[in-house]
Amino acid sequence: MPVPWDRCKPMSNPEQDALVARTIDHYSASAEAFWEGTKDHDVEQNRAALLDELEGDGPFAILDVGCGPGRDLAYFSGLGHEAVGVEGAEEMARIARERTGCEVLQQNFLSLDLPKGHFDGIFANASLFHVPKSALPRVLGELCASLKNRGVLFSSNPRGENVEAMNGERFCVLHDFAAWRAFVTAAGFEEIRHYYRPDGKPRAEQPWLASVWRRIQI
């Protein structure tokens, strides 16, 4: 279901760290409900958008950023890839490990510690919109550094008018494509393509912006 963004309330910059922590606590407390509510979501288009752009022969090393309780980790691992999750919510991370058998790093997006040049692809499905704009250049730079040359980043975020806000207990940033592209290209990526979801709907009924990027070879 579309997220009711009209409920979001603007907030000031000094609150950001506390509100990101509040967001993580919310996800940890609602981990089982989140699993039940999202386990059957159709994200095949997004998974394919990443996998179709990976170069060379697999299996590939894939980092699932904001992996939640492990739905997509299980999918990538089931295809034979080396799937690793990053999840800030302790209970989400625990469930993901138990359900998938994959490695899951419990890390806040604001304090990532990732191996350099290790991953072929990053799958960030409905996760990076929780990163404050002030921290986004650093976070995207760390994700870029964790990719191999010409590695691929997939992201999907709810789109909006570039505001930081609270939606219930969750901190959110709603980017339009121009702003999102500026952040991602500045971090060392070039665009492959972007699209809006759900597929086949009028733009007004497509609240999600999906995009695919390649790490510039260095």
Whole-model pTM over 0.95: no
How far apart are alpha carbons 79 and 58 in whole angstroms? Answer: 10
Q: What are the C-alpha distances in Å from 24 to residues 29, 38, 70, 192? A: 9, 17, 16, 31
Least confident interval from 4-8, 142-146, 183-187: 4-8
Of 4-8, 15-19, 39-43, 51-55, minimum mean pLDDT range: 4-8
Percent over 70 (pLDDT), the chain: 93
Predicted confidence at residue 1, as pLDDT, reads 30
Q: What distance in Å separates the CA atoms of residue 70 and residue 87, rounded to the nearest whole number?
A: 10
Distance CA 92, CA 59 (A): 26
Distance CA 38, CA 25 (A): 18
Q: What is the pLDDT of residue 14?
A: 63
Confidence of residue 4 (pLDDT cuts 50, 70, 90): very low
Q: What CATH number has the domain spanning 5-215?
A: 3.40.50.150
If pLDDT is split at 50, 70 and 90, which confidence band does 6 have?
A: very low
Instruction: Name the percent of the chain lying above pLDDT 90.
Output: 80
The structural domains of the chain, with segments of one domain joined by +, span 5-215
Which has the closest alpha carbon to 104: 120, 93, 119, 88? 93
pLDDT value of position 7:
40
Mean pLDDT score, 137-166:
96
Q: Which two tokens stand for residue 49?
A: 């958008």
pLDDT band at 5 (very low <50, low <70, confident <90, very high): very low
Q: Is the pLDDT of residue 49 over 60?
A: yes
Q: Each residue of 76-131: pLDDT tens digit?
A: 999 999 999 999 999 999 999 999 999 999 999 999 999 999 999 999 999 999 99
How confident is the model over 209-218, as pLDDT tens digits? 999 999 998 7
Helices (H), 84-188: 90-100, 136-146, 177-186
Helix or strand run (H / E) with residue 62: strand 61-65
